[in-house]
Amino acid sequence: MMATHVDTAGLKGELRIDEPMSKHTSWRVGGPADNYYLPQDLDDATNFLARLPDDMPVYWIGLGSNLLVRDGGIRGAVIATSGLLNKMNMIDENTLRAEAGVSSAKVARFSVEHDLTGGEFLAGIPGTIGGALAMNAGAFGGETWNVVYAVDVITKKGTIKQRMASEFDVGYRYVKTFGNEWFAAGYFRLERDNKVDGKSLIKKLLNKRGQSQPTQLPNAGSVFKNPKGDYSARLIEASGLKGTSIGGASVSDMHANFIINNGNAMASDIENLINEVQLQVKKQQDISLEPEVRIIGEIQ
């Protein structure tokens, strides 16, 4: 299929044609995106969206964690947010607003610097606010939407509007969004408490993560959602799958719910390993594991 490229004349951002997605995913795999756009700001992103043909698929990417892009790449348009849609400010004494490209860890640090507590868990989410909002990301027992007051959404037509958190159906690693809308920013309402040492708490949480997760190797965070009343890591380990490899991808010896790229993995190796883990856990534990990672793009 012939790629359609977008006319960006007059826009402020940068369009890259056939951009390798392996440069932009935490697994370090993925084929080329037909149109990879780096907006200068939120207004520029809306103008870019307004240029797109109605039938063109659109994907948003932050730090590329929790995402597997297949080796055949992405047809359509990818909008990059990390380090670009990065405005963050206090709205009132309990509420901060962060755009989609701000890292979750940065929001955690910003909140404690302003004597707010309740957002420290965000330091353990290895992605941006856009991704955290889209999947109700969580860490250390906290979940993103527990502290969301409202969001700004951006539509396929290139308009921005505010929606209240109560308008969304939210669950464990799940958010039902409105069609052809994406999260542009989140409003986080936190508790004011200058007696809580948030910086020490964040440090403690990150040390805990570093000791239990393979943070030094290319990975995408937790691969599978935890089934009700159990843990995917326990089920995978109990099935004897720690260390199992396909091509350059392996189930981590350190944490069974992580798949690592040993340096030469293809996206197909990772996807095949995901399928194999599901197959074996179903066979041995009679439990169907549901992927937490999002898989997009074309098979090569």
Answer yes or no: 70 catalytic.
no
Beta bridge partners of 36: 16, 78
Strand pairing report for 95-99 and 88-92:
antiparallel
Angle at 56 between CA 55 and CA 59, to 5 degrees: 135
Answer yes or no: 173 catalytic.
yes
Q: Which of 65, 222, 232, 268 is catalytic?
A: 222
Give the three-class secondary structure for 260. strand
Q: How far apart are CA 136 and CA 99, in angstroms?
A: 16
Contact between residue 99 and residue 89 where contact means Cβ atoms under 8 Å apart: no
Give the three-class secondary structure for 263. coil
Q: Which of 97, 173, 252, 271 is catalytic?
A: 173
Answer yes or no: 222 catalytic.
yes
Q: How far apart are CA 108 and CA 293, in angstroms?
A: 23
- Residues identified as active-site: 173, 222, 292
